[in-house]
């Protein structure tokens, strides 16, 4: 399950980058929507960071089960 969580976080990172790209495009093409674009960027950033925290929790669960520190990054599964 911990590995699945890390995989989901990697997908979450991709979604964050897509939202960031779209929000920046919105701001550049329609400056009147800059406020909304910034809101989207902040929301996406908070969601991406939440995924990182959840991955950290999964790493601690692996540690308590195996007694070994395991970093569940994108290249570890």
Read off the pLDDT of residues 21-51 as tens digits, 9 standing for 90 and up: 999 999 999 999 999 999 999 999 999 999 8
Q: Span 11-27, mean pLDDT?
A: 90
Rg (the chain; Cα; Å): 16
Tokens standing for residue 18:
């897509």
The CATH homologous superfamily for domain 2-76 is Phosphate transport system protein phou homolog 2; domain 2 (1.20.58.220)
- Output the pTM of the full model: 0.72
Measure the CA–CA gap between 29 and 75, rounded to whole angstroms.
Answer: 36
Predicted local confidence at residue 77, as pLDDT: 42
């Amino acid at each position: 399950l911990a590995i699945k969580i890390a995989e989901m976080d990697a997908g979450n990172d991709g979604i964050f980058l897509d939202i960031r790209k779209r929000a920046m495009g919105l701001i550049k093409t329609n400056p009147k929507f800059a406020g909304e674009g910034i809101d989207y960027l902040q929301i996406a950033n908070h969601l991406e960071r939440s995924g990182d925290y959840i991955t950290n929790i999964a790493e601690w669960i692996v540690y308590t089960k195996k007694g070994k520190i395991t970093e569940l990054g994108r290249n570890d599964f």
